[in-house]
Structure 1
């Protein structure tokens, strides 16, 4: 809905009036051209295009869930000053905005506002506001219309939850209809959705990110349930690849404990050698993976990792069952030994477009490897995982809702 702070401005007028004499000097026109000139000069000019209406480009979407906070993000088509109203009831009552060094975020179209000091395990209601800045001069600021969303809700994670449930989607490759379809297959409660790479074919512009991820995810679930995103090899391609991270609140590489599960998420980079001609000398993924290998060694040495009832690793390129291309083999070289020595319990990946559940193999991997399918109809998958203090259950669904396979684990700790 739109609340009008002032009357809508008049339509923009064309600059100047083009006269017959100015466009078609009679002395310079050939005789046969004069009829056409007269026709043009006597034609009724087209109306100036209406100014684009102020609008949200997607519903708000939730990021970075923590027991005491949640990030709300959204986009508008015009520069604005934006804020979030929120509260434990639909009456709301609190306001959040983002500022840095005394300056409140404004005159931007991508909005990221952190709701802090929240209560664990509590349901909050919220709505977002974007107030157009029609003119921004050093000593004069003029506001336009204010957009106000409907009221949504979310629940913060408990401080010490005894269980966690999540959904995994991978390799939909610029097929936005797959997001509501796959999440719609789930009928059980869940805490978040994890996008495990190759949501896109490459990164072209902001519109692609909105149309193929943020808008369909918002309509399907993301205004009420958070999602977490890590790159696949296709998200490292295209002229807009560096900007992609701006649309999320989090890192491509991280670790976190949620209830009985310790999550380790890695960013596997490209699948070809760095010196492959298609990269034109402007990638360095081997060194990037080497750095992550050192980070991984530090993660598995932490008390949080060691004490977790279940240790789960999620990354896009699997280090087994993915052929002998450079990317999978380098991932194996960098990560496999640490995975085995540290005793991870479950590994979830994508990339191959071939759904598979592979049980432990002595001398290779001591944990189940689960690889989601995609992207074509009939080959897409939804992975559902639920863990308690004692059990972890994973079910992989085909896109017709039938079960492909499952993993059932008992806690070793």
Structure 2
């Protein structure tokens, strides 16, 4: 099954370099491949990737949900040819792989396969398979072991659902192995997806950090059967691996999405300091980035989907109020605040401050509730739960001991 082009990570060295699997002594396997100058050296270098047991580095996780499509992503520890088997029963029966310009994606460790032509509101069962490629020559390809995941299931959104429910996490700060399962256990209600509202990390150093602190705990906790969406916080703009982070998700940090009665607008707020601050060393331009988003936002709020939605919800990491007078929050207020007011949004959800709170509308500032999730430390962590029908929207913020911190209840202003 041919599908959309996947992310830009198909070059062998570019892909393997992202692994972050450096040797403790001498040259790493990555460096050995890069330094090889003869066929013999290349064979010896690539042999480093065939040693040890072939295994998945994380369970599959779901991305970019739609009524007729779902993306399945996962990672293996060896370069492979990979595919997804799926169907409406445990017998599966269909196979999906990515094809670009006649070439099937392969010799990868990070896998992203879009299942398309699905039925809305339908449960599908699936498993992922990765066949190791032990040798890849121009005229000879040798396969090794094939590994297979457990069988999981997911349900596609209905075409025009009457309600939608979602959960929000923010400011986990590299504590995902503990915080994700703990906070998820507080939820007892059905939900359609999870939204990660920035600062999942302190900064990005390598792939192992992404696996250990995000992908592995998420896939073990829920993400093999429920999709998650993600936008950056200011801490996701830091570290030498920051540019590669986007490769691990199917979807941009900025998007507008209609799901039943709710129109979601998600923005990427960038850094909280001036672009000229010494810590950025002259290699950021978030002021222009926010200005461009504001121009795009002006078009989003003119769209029929936005205008007709029963509820208009904005989610972004840095709140434009209740976040002090730092440069980033004030830029967000200048660029985004007037558009939020003019377009009459109904609800705003953010994080960043580590000071959880629900701020009701204030005349002359914001005409909608501003909800700010908590921080990473025990006792300050929060789970935000939201459910919307065509008439009502309810939001509940829970502390990490399960007690209710506050809530928002709204009626639709659009009949």
TM bin, normalised by shorter chain, reads 0.7 to 0.9
Number of positions where the alignment pairs a residue of Structure 1 with one of Structure 2: 366
Alignment of 1:165-314 (within 5 A): 165-176=165-176, 177-314=178-315
* SS at 2:78 equivalent: strand
2:76 pairs with 1:76: yes
Q: CA deviation at 1:124?
A: 0.1
Q: CA deviation at 1:343?
A: 0.3
- 1:65-89 per-residue CA deviation (whole Å, 9 max, x = no partner) reads 0000000000000000000000000
Q: Which residue of 1 aligns with 2:7?
A: none
- 1:124-160 per-residue CA deviation (whole Å, 9 max, x = no partner) reads 0000000000000000000000010000000000000
2:139 pairs with 1:139: yes
- 1:248-286 per-residue CA deviation (whole Å, 9 max, x = no partner) reads 000100001100000000000000000000000000000
- 1:75-122 per-residue CA deviation (whole Å, 9 max, x = no partner) reads 000000000000000000000000100000000000000000000000
4+ runs deviating over 2 angstroms: none
Q: Which residue of 2 aligns with 1:402?
A: 403
Separation in structure 1 between the aligned mates of residue 237 and residue 166 of structure 2, nearest angstrom: 25
Q: Which residue of 2 aligns with 1:160?
A: 160
Q: CA deviation at 1:211?
A: 0.7
Separation in structure 1 between the aligned mates of residue 89 and residue 375 of structure 2, nearest angstrom: 40
Q: Which residue of 1 aligns with 2:100?
A: 100
Separation in structure 2 between the aligned mates of residue 111 and residue 407 of structure 1, nearest angstrom: 39
- 1:330-353 per-residue CA deviation (whole Å, 9 max, x = no partner) reads 000000000001000000000000
Separation in structure 1 between the aligned mates of residue 215 and residue 51 of structure 2, nearest angstrom: 25
Q: CA deviation at 1:51?
A: 2.7
* SS at 1:317 equivalent: coil
Q: CA deviation at 1:52?
A: 1.5
Alignment of 1:106-117 (within 5 A): 106-117=106-117
Separation in structure 2 between the aligned mates of residue 256 and residue 149 of structure 1, nearest angstrom: 31
Separation in structure 2 between the aligned mates of residue 401 and residue 295 of structure 1, nearest angstrom: 38
Separation in structure 1 between the aligned mates of residue 335 and residue 269 of structure 2, nearest angstrom: 10
Separation in structure 2 between the aligned mates of residue 52 and residue 164 of structure 1, nearest angstrom: 45
* SS at 1:124 equivalent: strand
Separation in structure 1 between the aligned mates of residue 400 and residue 263 of structure 2, nearest angstrom: 28
TM-score of the two chains, using structure 1 as the length reference: 0.88
Query: Looking at CA atoms only, which structure, 1 or 2, has the larger radius of gyration?
Result: 1
- 1:342-384 per-residue CA deviation (whole Å, 9 max, x = no partner) reads 0000000000000010000000000000000011000000000
2:324 pairs with 1:323: yes
- 1:292-322 per-residue CA deviation (whole Å, 9 max, x = no partner) reads 0001100001010000000000000000000
Separation in structure 2 between the aligned mates of residue 172 and residue 156 of structure 1, nearest angstrom: 28
Q: CA deviation at 1:183?
A: 1.2
Separation in structure 1 between the aligned mates of residue 304 and residue 93 of structure 2, nearest angstrom: 40
Q: Which residue of 2 aligns with 1:129?
A: 129
* SS at 1:370 equivalent: strand
Separation in structure 2 between the aligned mates of residue 237 and residue 118 of structure 1, nearest angstrom: 38
Separation in structure 2 between the aligned mates of residue 184 and residue 170 of structure 1, nearest angstrom: 16
* SS at 2:118 equivalent: coil
User: CA RMSD, aligned part only?
Assistant: 1.1
* SS at 2:70 equivalent: strand
Q: Which residue of 2 aligns with 1:56?
A: 56
2:66 pairs with 1:66: yes
Q: Which runs of 5+ in 2 are unaligned?
A: 1-47
